[in-house]
């Protein structure tokens, strides 16, 4: 709605809007100047509304387009068994839990889901949080209560970064996926109390995998605890989709796993999986669990149904990986650097933010929605298109994307020059001081 629309100007309501006076109708110069600066640097972000379920094809601005930016990897967000489970739970339990789990919001679907998640991750117990972000905000400070130092991968997810910053323990950063660097840091001036090591399993913007066997070895040698954020690995990685830990054959290893219900499982929420003692401790100490309303029971029921589908339909993962390999191979042949992607997340490294924005808009003109990813989400000079494949895509849709990219590159000299410029990821910046990106 524009500033001059009748509803905002105090005129009659239009389009179903309620005519209410603005209580804060002034422009804040500080905010506006910062927004202008973001726009000047091609870093301003806008919301775009999709008017359909998040499948392979969606409706955007009245057009049917291909969606290649969703984390709905197994195409379960609108699966009949998943949606019916949510509807059934709403009819029985209502929409919301009504309170935090420790008050009166702990319902049957929560307990059932936690038992299923523990079995899925092959650990003793699990605890569900309202979001994956809250799961990390609850887990890390609880684990760090008796730690002096936390070591984090340079490209950890923002929720892990923020969780670490909430702790009194000192934060140290090791180079991305560099287990040797971590081992040296762990052995250098070892603190009197064990350290905490945190990493993503699948990194959300690069699509690469943490070297979990080597990280686990380094952590065990230093008597440190390893935490794996497996938000993008759960349901996707491993022979049975149990995650990155299963992918590396490390089930039973001494580590803590975090996962989400909002990506491959198609719903909403997060969870921690580990020992029974850990889960009981989190129930008593994890503030984002204690002091927030519980996950809606419908979301818990939907996640349980999604786990059923994952077990019953392994062909979804097979199809996902076949489509992923088709797209990844084609993108590489066009000339894009896809970094070290080993997952359904495929980055198309461009470099400059404005060039990434331009590529995104040109893809949209070809009917492909894949937004540009820019700082601070990724380091300066590594702006990109982050494409993600789902089991709901079809081979001809993958081919359409590749044809669109081929045509765009052929007609854009600046983009071709950027692709000829070689790698612009961490392999050329190892001499820089490692730092976590801003939130």
Q: How far apart are CA 123 and CA 258, in angstroms?
A: 12
Kindly indicate the confidence band of residue 433, based on its pLDDT and cuts at 50, 70 and 90. Answer: very low
Mean pLDDT of the chain: 90
Residue 7 pLDDT exceeds 70: no
Number of domains in the chain: 2
Residue 3 pLDDT exceeds 80: no
Please report the pLDDT score of residue 427 as a whole number: 36
Residue 350: CATH number of its domain: 3.90.1150.10
Q: How far apart are CA 421 and CA 413, in angstroms?
A: 12
Residue 141 pLDDT exceeds 70: yes
In this structure, what DSSP letter does residue 438 have?
Answer: P
The three-class DSSP label of residue 377 is: coil
Kindly indicate the confidence band of residue 30, based on its pLDDT and cuts at 50, 70 and 90. Answer: confident
Kindly indicate the confidence band of residue 20, based on its pLDDT and cuts at 50, 70 and 90. Answer: low
Please report the pLDDT score of residue 432 as a whole number: 32
Q: How far apart are CA 341 and CA 206, in angstroms?
A: 6
Given a contact cutoff of 8 angstroms between Cβ atoms, the answer to whether 227 and 143 are in contact is: yes
Beta-bridge partner residues of 388: 345
Kindly indicate the confidence band of residue 429, based on its pLDDT and cuts at 50, 70 and 90. Answer: very low
| Together in a domain, 287 and 423 | no
Has 428 been annotated as catalytic?
no
Task: Locate the DSSP E strands across 147-254.
Answer: 149-153, 170-174, 196-200, 225-229
User: Cα 420–425–429 angle (5° rounding)?
Assistant: 115
Residue 236 pLDDT exceeds 80: yes
Kindly indicate the confidence band of residue 142, based on its pLDDT and cuts at 50, 70 and 90. Answer: very high
| Together in a domain, 336 and 247 | no
Q: What is the mean pLDDT of residues 332-339?
A: 96
Is 70 part of a structural domain of the chain?
A: no
In this structure, what DSSP letter does residue 202 have?
Answer: B
| Together in a domain, 168 and 233 | yes
Please report the pLDDT score of residue 72 as a whole number: 98
Contacts of residue 366, Cβ cutoff 8 Å, sequence gap at least 6: 400, 404, 407, 408
Q: What is the mean pLDDT of residues 332-342?
A: 96
Q: How far apart are CA 77 and CA 297, in angstroms?
A: 16
Domain that holds residue 118: 80-312
Please report the pLDDT score of residue 235 as a whole number: 98
Which of 232, 242, 247, 393 is catalytic? The answer is 232
Q: What is the mean pLDDT of residues 202-222?
A: 97
Kindly indicate the confidence band of residue 16, based on its pLDDT and cuts at 50, 70 and 90. Answer: low
Residue 199: CATH number of its domain: 3.40.640.10
Q: How far apart are CA 115 and CA 301, in angstroms?
A: 12
Residue 229 pLDDT exceeds 90: yes
Per-residue pLDDT tens over the stretch 171-185: 999 999 999 999 999
Is 39 part of a structural domain of the chain?
A: no
Has 263 been annotated as catalytic?
yes
| Together in a domain, 299 and 369 | no
| Together in a domain, 289 and 335 | no
The three-class DSSP label of residue 416 is: helix
Q: How many CA atoms lie within 13 A of 359 on its CB side?
A: 34
Q: Which helix (H) or strand (E) holds 399?
A: helix 395-411
| Together in a domain, 287 and 359 | no
| Neighbour tally for 215: CB within 10 Å | 26
| Together in a domain, 215 and 258 | yes
Given a contact cutoff of 8 angstroms between Cβ atoms, the answer to whether 109 and 304 are in contact is: yes
The three-class DSSP label of residue 70 is: coil
β-pairing, 57-60 vs 170-174, is: unpaired
Q: How far apart are CA 38 and CA 40, in angstroms?
A: 5
Residue 255 pLDDT exceeds 60: yes
Q: How far apart are CA 144 and CA 216, in angstroms?
A: 18
Kindly indicate the confidence band of residue 29, based on its pLDDT and cuts at 50, 70 and 90. Answer: confident
Given a contact cutoff of 8 angstroms between Cβ atoms, the answer to whether 197 and 215 are in contact is: yes
Residue 25 pLDDT exceeds 70: no
| Together in a domain, 389 and 298 | no
Token code pair at residue 189:
């001036």
Has 329 been annotated as catalytic?
no
The mean-pLDDT minimum among 91-100, 191-200, 257-266 falls in 191-200
| Together in a domain, 300 and 321 | no
Please report the pLDDT score of residue 28 as a whole number: 74
| Together in a domain, 302 and 322 | no
Beta-bridge partner residues of 57: 66
Is 414 part of a structural domain of the chain?
A: yes
β-pairing, 170-174 vs 149-153, is: parallel
Given a contact cutoff of 8 angstroms between Cβ atoms, the answer to whether 323 and 330 are in contact is: no
Token code pair at residue 394:
């079809």
| Together in a domain, 289 and 182 | yes
Given a contact cutoff of 8 angstroms between Cβ atoms, the answer to whether 153 and 199 are in contact is: yes
Residue 191 pLDDT exceeds 80: no
- pTM of this structure: 0.88
Which of 121, 181, 247, 263 is catalytic? The answer is 263
Is 19 part of a structural domain of the chain?
A: no
Given a contact cutoff of 8 angstroms between Cβ atoms, the answer to whether 229 and 162 are in contact is: no
Query: Percentage of the chain with pLDDT > 90?
Result: 82
Q: Which helix (H) or strand (E) holds 89?
A: helix 80-93
Which of 70, 130, 159, 204 is catalytic? The answer is 204
Q: What is the mean pLDDT of residues 33-57?
A: 90
Residue 82 pLDDT exceeds 60: yes
């Amino acid at each position: 709605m524009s500033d001059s629309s009748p509803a905002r100007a105090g005129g009659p309501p239009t389009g179903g809007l309620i005519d209410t006076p603005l209580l804060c109708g002034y422009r804040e110069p500080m905010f506006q100047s910062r927004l202008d600066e973001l726009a000047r640097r091609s870093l301003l972000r806008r919301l775009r509304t999709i008017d359909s379920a998040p499948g392979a094809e969606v409706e955007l601005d009245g057009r049917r387009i291909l969606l290649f930016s969703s984390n709905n990897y197994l195409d379960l967000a609108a699966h009949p068994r998943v949606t019916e489970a949510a509807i059934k739970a709403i009819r029985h339990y209502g929409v919301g839990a009504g309170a935090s789990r420790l008050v009166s919001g702990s319902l049957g679907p929560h307990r059932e889901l936690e038992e299923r998640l523990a079995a899925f991750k092959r650990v003793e117990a699990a605890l569900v949080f309202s979001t994956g972000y809250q799961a990390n905000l609850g887990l890390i400070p609880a684990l760090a209560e008796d730690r002096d130092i936390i070591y984090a991968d340079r490209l950890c997810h923002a929720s892990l970064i923020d969780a670490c910053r909430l702790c009194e323990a000192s934060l140290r950063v090791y180079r991305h996926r560099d287990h040797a660097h971590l081992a040296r840091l762990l052995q250098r001036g070892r603190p009197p109390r064990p350290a905490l090591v945190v990493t993503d399993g699948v990194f959300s913007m690069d699509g690469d995998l943490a070297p979990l066997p080597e990280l686990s070895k380094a952590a065990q040698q230093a008597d440190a605890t390893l935490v794996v954020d497996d938000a993008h690995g759960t349901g996707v990685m491993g022979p049975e989709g149990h995650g990155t830990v299963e992918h590396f054959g490390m089930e039973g290893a001494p580590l803590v796993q975090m996962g989400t219900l909002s990506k491959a499982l198609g719903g909403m929420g997060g969870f921690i999986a580990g020992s029974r003692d850990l889960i009981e401790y989190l129930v008593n100490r994890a503030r984002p669990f204690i002091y927030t309303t519980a996950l809606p029971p419908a979301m818990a029921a939907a996640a349980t149904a999604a786990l059923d589908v994952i077990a019953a339909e392994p062909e979804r993962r097979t199809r996902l990986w076949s489509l992923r390999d088709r797209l990844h191979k084609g993108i590489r042949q066009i000339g894009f650097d896809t970094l070290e992607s080993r997952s359904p997340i495929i980055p198309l490294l461009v470099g400059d933010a404005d060039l990434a924005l331009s590529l995104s808009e040109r893809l949209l003109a070809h009917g492909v929605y894949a937004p540009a990813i820019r700082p601070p989400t990724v380091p300066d000079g590594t702006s990109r298109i982050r494409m993600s494949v789902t089991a709901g895509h079809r081979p001809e849709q993958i081919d359409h994307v590749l044809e669109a990219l081929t045509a765009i590159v052929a007609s854009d000299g600046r983009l071709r020059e950027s692709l000829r410029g070689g790698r612009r990821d961490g392999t050329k910046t190892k001499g820089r001081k490692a730092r976590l990106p801003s939130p």
